[in-house]
């Protein structure tokens, strides 16, 4: 969806429609950035549009978590030592994401990470029906020239920021931000004809 050509009212309505019709939200915490082909997931969460946590698990990567990544999300090697591997979590991701509208705050990051990790393990790429970027939607909705970090967007919209950079918390914050945007949609009037 090209949010740049939409008015704030249209974005609010599209967001309200999304939350009414259903979607899932995903967030990943990783060993690094999405431009590194060796990047691995260390945590994944999937939350429904009804605010139900459908999946929330640490993931044991094949390689150690770099200290600079741990400094961001707080996940250490000792935290994941007995966690499932990505191939063990993959069937749940297939079940939860394939055929669905999947929302993420900065969807290109999650998309690139999932592609890289699936490729590393020889797994088929996940197949959502559509990706929806909450970060791009929010920037266009508030007519920002630049993208806004999730925590900053939440603070600006009076959404409480708790446990930032943890997968489930980021999913819930993204959902609450979408709810704030959807609340500004104009009620539709039923046609009299």
- Please tell me the pTM assigned to this model: 0.93
Residues 33, 47: Cα–Cα separation, whole Å: 23
pLDDT of residue 186: 79
Give the alpha-carbon dihedral of 178, 171, 113, 148, to 10 degrees: 50
The DSSP output letter for 174 is H
Domain ranges of the chain: 3-182
pLDDT of residue 168: 98
103, two tokens? 């929302």
52, two tokens? 């139900």
Could you tell me which of 80, 89, 15 has the C-alpha nearest to residue 46? 89
Give, in degrees to the nearest 5, the angle at Cα 66 between 61 and 67.
Answer: 135
The DSSP output letter for 123 is P
- How do residues 23-50 score in pLDDT, each as one tens digit? 999 999 999 998 888 999 999 999 999 9
Other residues' Cβ atoms within 10 Å of the Cβ of residue 124: 9
pLDDT of residue 190: 57
Superfamily of 3-182 according to CATH: Ribonuclease H-like superfamily/Ribonuclease H (3.30.420.10)
With beta carbons less than 8 A apart as the criterion, state whether 137 and 125 touch.
no
pLDDT of residue 65: 97
Segments of the chain scoring below 50 in pLDDT: none
Phi, psi (5° rounding) for residue 31? Answer: -90, -5
With beta carbons less than 8 A apart as the criterion, state whether 171 and 46 touch.
yes
Residues 15, 1: Cα–Cα separation, whole Å: 11
pLDDT of residue 4: 87
């Amino acid at each position: 969806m090209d949010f740049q050509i939409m008015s704030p009212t249209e974005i609010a309505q599209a967001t309200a429609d999304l939350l009414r019709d259903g979607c899932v939200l995903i967030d990943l915490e990783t060993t690094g950035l999405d431009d590194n082909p060796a990047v691995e997931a260390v945590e994944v969460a999937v939350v429904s549009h009804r605010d139900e946590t459908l999946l929330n698990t640490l993931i044991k990567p094949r390689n150690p978590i770099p200290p600079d990544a741990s400094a961001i999300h707080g996940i250490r090697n000792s935290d994941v030592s007995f966690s499932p591997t990505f191939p063990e979590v993959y069937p749940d991701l297939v079940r939860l994401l394939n055929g669905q509208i999947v929302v993420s705050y900065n969807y290109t990051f999650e998309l690139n990470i999932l592609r890289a990790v699936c490729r590393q393990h020889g797994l088929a790429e996940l197949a959502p029906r559509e990706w929806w970027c909450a970060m791009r939607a929010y920037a266009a909705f508030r007519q920002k020239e630049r993208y806004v970090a999730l925590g900053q967007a939440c603070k600006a919209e009076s959404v409480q920021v708790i446990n930032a950079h943890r997968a489930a918390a980021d999913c819930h914050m993204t959902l609450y931000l979408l709810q704030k945007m959807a609340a500004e949609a104009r009620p539709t009037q039923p046609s009299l004809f």
